[in-house]
Structures are given as C-alpha cells and as structure tokens.
Chains A and B, each alone.
Chain A
C-alpha cells in the first residue's frame, strides 16, 4: 500500500534519510522507533508530501506522491489522517469545530457533519467537551480531539508522530487503546515513538531507525534500540 523506494533526504550537508526501502501493507500497525534525529519524522513528512525526497520515490498505492501537482495535494492528504505530538488544533475553533473543519474542508454536507462529529466525539470519549476551545482542554483531551479529526473522514492511513510524547502514562494508555481500536476497524496506522511501553503494548511490527537508516525490522517486535 505504501512503498518507499530507495529514498534519501538531505538538508544541505546533513543527511536525514539514506537509501530507505520500506513497504507497508494495508491494515498494518507499524511502530517506528529511534533516537531523536534518527529520521522518523522526516520519513512521515515525505509520506505526507510536506517534504520532497532528494533521491528515490514514495508511492501511495500506485501514485508517486512527490509527483503530485500542488492542486491535487489536498485530495491526496484526505486519504491520510495525521496526529502530531503538539496536537496542532486550531486555537480559535472549539473541539467540535476542529473535527468538523476536516469534514467541511472535504466538502461534506451539513447533515453528514451533524451526524458524524458527535459520533466521533463519543468514540474518543469527549462528547461533554464539544464546545470547549483547545486551551480549555488537557493534553490528553487535545490529543483525543486530534485523533478524532484524523479519523473523521475515514482515511486509509493514520500517521501519528509521537502522539504520546507530551502525555502522562494514563493518557498515553488511553491514546494507544484508541489507536488499537481504530486499527482493528481496518485502518492502517503508522506511529513514531520514544516510549517503550507504547511499543510493547501494541506488540506489532517495529522498525528501528538509526542515523537515517533502517537498523531493524521486526514483525512481532519489541522496543529495542
């Protein structure tokens, strides 16, 4: 489903990724681990077409992501739901509006929005905080809203960049449980993390990155650096 073909990425003299070849199957739950600066985030940015590879290509199904014209980019991104370490909610929109925005942006009708958003808020356990603004929510709540936003358009893939990086153990556990639930419903999930507990709790494929290269690739992996 996703295929990195001999991808390298350099920022000036610094090499962020070197000759990465990687394929990810549908419905997989992939954890990417590694030290800071190992290239985990760069890998995700290339998949989201936020950055272009210096060499090689990134394929989503049969589409070469980095050859997409600017006008088609937003259509492509709707297939991927993104979750960030710093949540990245829109500060002047309520929890409800943050999730609804992702649907509005894809041109869904008011009726669909009115029926889907409350359902998702229920799923991430925040139905009672619908009218709160992000600065009125805790870190865990913000991240659950961000996940709600990521899944509202039923994307094929969820990409989560250190989603538990700013959260305490209880919230971390909740986020992992929600992600597992989403994966069990058939969505591919790619997550980067520093957290051993998270990887071990997921217990699925683990890729270990080191200095821009893939150091290990374990099918039923544990967290090993």
Chain B
C-alpha cells in the first residue's frame, strides 16, 4: 500500500510539475547525451587502436634451403606462445604471385624478374602480437629457438624487427597515452554531467521546499516525504534515457554515413544498432541512478524542519 501510494504521488507530482519536470528531463537528457558521446568516443578509440595495431607485424624470412616442414614447425611453436595473436605462413611461390600482382603495371620490374630465371623471394612467417610491446620478447624467443638452426646453420634469413622497432615502440607509447587521455576525458565529462544533473534536481526540489516543510508539520516521516521525490527522479531518468535513445537513432545513422570512410570503416550507426541493448542499458541505469541519488541528496537539506 505504502509503495503504491509513493509511486502514485511521485507520478502525479511529476505530471503536475509541468515546466519544471520538463526542464529537468531536458537537462538529464543532455547529460545522458554526453554519456552516449563518451561511449561512442571510447568505442571509436578502441576500434582505431585495433586497426592500427593489426597493421603492425614482424616478418621472419627464411633462407631458400629451408623446407616447408621446418618452417611450419616454427609456426607451430610460435602459435603456442601466449604473446602471439596470429601467425601467417607465406611460401616463396605465394610471395612471387603476390609480387607479380602488385607490380602488374610495372613491366620493367617484371622483365627483370623473368630474366633472373628463378624465384628470388623467401618464404616467410608474419607474426602479430597481442600487444605491440610484446614483439621484443617474440624476437628473443626466435633468436634462441633451436628449431631455427636445425643442422647447425640458421634457416632464418632475416627478421624485419630491427627496421620496425622504432615505429612499433612509438605506436606502443601512443596507444598507452591515447588510452590514458581517453580515460581522463571520460572521467572529466562524466563528472561534469553528474554535477549538472545534480544542480538541476536541486533546483527542482528547491521549488518544493515549502511543501516539504508543510508535509513535515502535518506529521509525515522523512522517508514518506522523500520517497515521492526519489520516484520523480527515477521517472525523470527513465524518460530521459528513452528520449536520448530515440534521438540517437537518426543521429548515429547520419553521422555513421558521413564519417565511416574517415574512421577507417568504423560506422557509428551500425555500432549503435549492434550494441543497442547495452547502450540503452547504460543510459537507463545512469539516468535512474542520477535521478534517484540526486533527489536523495538534494532533499536532505529541507527535511530538517
């Protein structure tokens, strides 16, 4: 009975609050808008970092005399390493085909290749680490691996790590820095939006302070006065989350269409739809928590009658 009364009272207050309720919902919606922006920003950041990371790898080139069997044995060992994400084998023949396609318009080079009379390219393994900082340890593993020097001489012709080392290190640093900056931005904007929501709800409750005093004088307990305001906060949060999700629908489609090519294939619209449930969930929970907690704190001051 009590719970039903509190809900009815809260809902009635919200509806009768008119302009004040509408303004609170508006500000809360903006707050949730900031939160959605942060969600998209971090998704974009992760996506971009993944793309960049995937472009980096090291290749191990093998001498011509190395048998495919030996190379695949090395590959098996590499795959078992915890730092390794993927290993791709490319035989000498594959490399030649690839080289020819790549230089299909460059007759001079192809001619030179034909005159050579044999395949000068090495078979290779392209290795991708799970994290750029792990390439060094993978290279160390290769250097010390006995499989690579079966029969006394090493079958490795060349590892291109040394050439790539500088850019790999830079990338590694950039990824860490970007993540840290990203987290700082999220925290900063998150805090700002929470403060805005708090201030708005405080104002809304300030307009009811005389009413709260009367309720107390009529003999209502603190909990009974407070509860409908919390209900109002929750309604505000739910409504704002729904409004924001509806607004995001066309916005993400439009922005996705316009920007997918800049963001190396990241489409905001399809990201929104494939993650709709989790995004709506985050907005809903944030809205409800913000509304309820802000109401609880804002009303405290006026209950001391």
Contacts and interface: CB of A to CB of B under 8 A. Distances in A.
B1 A92 contact: no
Given A50-B305, A91-B211, A92-B16, A106 B2 contact: no
Nearest to B211: A90
A41 B26 CA distance: 42
A50 B217 CA distance: 8
Interface of A is mostly: loop
Interface stretch (B154-162, B218-226, B274-282): B218-226
Contact of A74 (B9, B17, B219): B219
B214 interface: yes
B84 to A, nearest CB: 64
A110 B2 CA distance: 10
Nearest to B20: A92
A158 to B, nearest CB: 13
Given A74-B220, A78-B219, A88 B17 contact: no
Contacts of B211: 90-92
Nearest to B218: A102
A101 B215 contact: yes
Interface in B139-191: none
Contact of B17 (A70, A89, A92, A109): A92
Q: Which 10 A-B residue pairings sit nearest by Cβ, starting from the closest?
A: A105-B220, A78-B219, A92-B16, A77-B219, A102-B218, A74-B221, A88-B214, A90-B211, A74-B219, A82-B217
Interface of B: 1-2, 5, 9, 12-13, 16-17, 210-211, 213-222, 224, 305
Given A88-B214, A90-B215, A101-B220, 11 more contacts: A50-B305, A74-B221, A88-B217, A91-B211, A101-B215, A101-B218, A104-B5, A104-B9, A105-B219, A105-B224, A107-B2
20 contacts: A48-B217, A70-B222, A74-B216, A74-B220, A74-B221, A74-B222, A75-B219, A77-B218, A82-B217, A88-B210, A88-B214, A90-B211, A90-B214, A90-B215, A91-B211, A92-B17, A101-B220, A104-B5, A104-B224, A107-B2
